[in-house]
Structure 1
Amino acid sequence: MPVNPELVGRVFPPTAPYLVGREKVREFARAVFADAPQHSDPEAARALGYTDVVAPPTFAMVVQDLALQQLLAEPDSGIELSRLVHAEQRFRYTRPIVAGDELVATQSVTGIRTMGGNAMITSEAEIVDADGAHVVTTTSVLLAGEAGA
């Protein structure tokens, strides 16, 4: 089954709030070799004007993944996980993510481009804080092979 072109324009419900924890930021920073002190030391982060440790820019993927799971779980999507590759990722920040933030993501499918037996699925997640203020927009491109191809 090919990827369902009717996914374009579909907007999924907001995710449950994700509380950004200091240890999660530290763990993520270690995993991506982000060794600047503001990622692990609250005092270093405060010296730079932040309230707590600052997440590396790619940390937004942790929150986006919660929203992306909604798309991948759609029974009519035509997306088969065993034939899926994460092809591209972009971030557009209003402000950095900081430990203590409570974030919610709303996922939408913005485009599908087919090429042979494959489809490039572009989706965006708007991530906002507890006050509803924009923090970051993540854009993902997934490459999906056609099932049974």
Structure 2
Amino acid sequence: MPVNPELVGRVFPATAPYLVGREKVREFARAVFADDAQHHDPAAAQALGYADVVAPPTFAMVVQDLTLQQLLAEPDSGIELSRVLHAEQRFRYSRPIVAGDELTAQLTVSGIRTIGGNAMVTSDAEVTDAAGAHVVTATSVLLVGEGES
């Protein structure tokens, strides 16, 4: 089944709030080799004006993944996980993510482009804090390969 072109413009329900934990930030920072003290030491982060440790920029993927799971679970999407490659990722931040943030995300499918029988599915996850203020827009492009005929 090909990717459903009617996905373009589809907006998914907001995710349940995700509470950013200090240890999760530290674990993620270690995993991506983000060695700056602000990612590990609350005092270093506070000296920079933050309430707690600062997540590396790619941490937004943790929250965005919750929205992508909604897309992948959509029965009429035509997207089968075994045929998906994560082709591109971009972030547009209003402010950094810090431990203690309670984040919610909402996904919109913003485009589908067909290339040689494959589909490039672009989606934007708008991540907001508990007050509803924008934190980051995480844009992903998924390459969905042709299925078996």
Band of TM-score, shorter chain:
over 0.9
Query: What is the one-letter code of the residue matched to 1:74?
Result: E
- Report the residue type matching 1:73 in the other structure: A
Task: Trace 1:52-131 onto structure 2 (pairs within 5 A).
Answer: 52-131=52-131
Q: Render the CA deviation track for 1:93-132: whole Å, top value 9, x for unaligned.
A: 0000000000000000000000122000000000000000
Q: Distance in 2 between matches of 1:117 and 1:5?
A: 13
Q: State the shift of 1:77 in Å.
A: 0.5
The whole-number CA distance in structure 2 between the counterparts of 1:147 and 1:78 is 9
Unaligned runs of 5+ in 2: none
Alpha-carbon displacement from aligned partner over 1:20-78 (angstroms, at most 9, x marks no partner): 00000000000000000000000000000000000000000000000110000001000
CA distance in 2, matches of 1:147, 1:101: 40
TM-score (norm 1): 0.99
Provide the C-alpha distance between the structure 1 equivalents of 2:48 and 2:127, rounded to a whole number of angstroms: 23
Contact 1:118 1:146 in 2 (8 A): yes
Q: Equivalents in 2 of 1:148, 1:19: separation in Å?
A: 41
Aligned pair count? 149
- 5+ residue gaps, structure 1: none
Determine if the alignment matches structure 1 residue 40 to structure 2 residue 27.
Answer: no
